[in-house]
Amino acid sequence: MADGLYIGIDVSKDSLEVAFGCDGEVRQVANADRAILALAAELKARGPQLVVMEASGGYERIVAALLWEAQLPVVVANPSQVRDFAKGMGQYAKTDRQDARIIARWAEVKQPLVRQLPDAQGRELSELLTRRRQLLEMLVAERQRLSQTVSQLIRKELNASIGSLERRLQKIEAEIEQRIRKSDLWNRRRELLESVPGVGKLTSFMLVAELPELGTSDRRHLASLVGVAPYPRDSGKWHRPRLTHGGRAAVRSALYMAALSASRCNPVLAPFYQRLLSRGAAKKQALVAVIRRLLGILNAIVRDRIPWRSSCAVPT
C-alpha cells in the first residue's frame, strides 16, 4: 500500500461521511458551506495525499470546489469504478460509512490523477451548458408529443410549451456566448476550435467548459478522458472487437455531432472517414475513429495556438 493519508468522502444531499484512511476514523459532516470550510481547514493541516469522493448527482460539486479552493488534491471518482472495486474486495454490504472507507481504499490502491477543477466562472459555464442540454431534451420531448397528438386543445398547449422552451433556450445560449466573449482566454480558445471545419459554436462551448485538458495533454489521454479510446478484450487465442467505455458523456456527444459534420465537410477528415468505410469499417466505428483524429487536431491547435490549416492538420 502507498504511504500517506487518503480521505474518502461519501456525499449525500444533507451530509458527508468522511473516512480518514481506509481503516481510520469515519466522521459525519453537514453538507453546508461552513462545515465544509471547517473540514477543509482540518484536512489542510493533515496534508492528505488525496481527497476522493464519488460523483453524486451534483451534490458533490460544491464540496469538491470548496476543497479544491483550499488547495487540497481533490478527485471526483466514477461511482461504477469504485463499486466494481468494492465487489472485487468482496464488499457487497453498502452503508454510507462503508462507502467512505471503500473510497479511501480505492484512492490508496488506484492512485487516481488529480484533475484541475474549474473556477467559479468555469462552474457557472458548465451549469449553463447542463441547463441548455436539459431544455433541449424537454424541447425534443414536447415536439415528439405534438407529432402524436390529435386534440386541438392539447396541441395548442404543446405549441405554447414549445415556444416557451425555445425562448428559454435562446436566452441560455446567448448567456453562454456572452460569458465566453468576456474571457479573453475562453474566446481565443473558442476561435481556435471553431476554425476547424465541422466544429460549431456549441461544440466549442462544450470543449471550453468540460475539457480544460485540451492543449495540455496528449491525444491518447484525451481519448481516454472522453471515452473514445478502444480497450482490448483478448484472452488466449480469443480476440474480440475492441470497445470504448466511460468518459465524459456530454463532451463525447458534442464531439460525435462534430465528427458527423467533419465526415462530410472537413478536407482532411472526410477522406479519412471514407477510407475507413472502404476498408469495411462500420459507420459508427469509423465515426469514433474520426472523433479520435479530430481530438488530436484540436489538441494540437489549442497547444500551438495556431488556427486550422488543412496542410498541417496532422495530430501529434
Which band of pLDDT confidence, cut at 50, 70 and 90, is reported for residue 117? Answer: low
Which band of pLDDT confidence, cut at 50, 70 and 90, is reported for residue 239? Answer: low
Q: In the predicted model, what is the mean pLDDT of the chain?
A: 87
Angle between helical axes of 60-69 and 120-147 (0-180°, round to 10): 160
Q: Of residues 234 and 59, which shows the higher confidence score?
A: 59
pLDDT digits (tens, 9 = 90+) for 64-100: 888 888 889 998 888 888 888 888 888 877 888 899 9
Fold observed for domain 6-110: Nucleotidyltransferase; domain 5 (3.30.420)
Question: Collapsing DSSP states into helix, strand and coil, what is residue 244?
Answer: coil
Percentage of the chain lying above the pLDDT 70 cut: 91
Contact yes or no for 26/15 (Cβ under 8 A): no
List the end-to-end C-alpha distance of the chain, in Å, as a whole number.
36
Strand partners, 54: 77
Question: Collapsing DSSP states into helix, strand and coil, what is residue 198?
Answer: coil
pLDDT digits (tens, 9 = 90+) for 148-185: 999 999 999 999 999 999 999 999 999 998 888 888 88
Distance of CA 120 to the CA centre of its chain: 17
**DSSP calls for 16-39:** EEEEESTTS-EEEEESSHHHHHHH
pLDDT at 235: 58
Give the number of other CB atoms < 10 A from CB of residue 47: 10
Q: In the chain, where do the E strands start and end?
A: 6-11, 15-20, 26-30, 50-54, 74-77, 231-235, 238-243
Burial of 130 (0-12, 13-18, 19+ CB in 10 A): middle
pLDDT at 216: 83
Domain segments of the chain as ranges: 6-110, 129-182, 202-312
Query: For residues 213 and 216, what is the distance between their CA atoms, to the nearest angstrom?
Result: 5
**Mean pLDDT value across residues 129-142:** 92
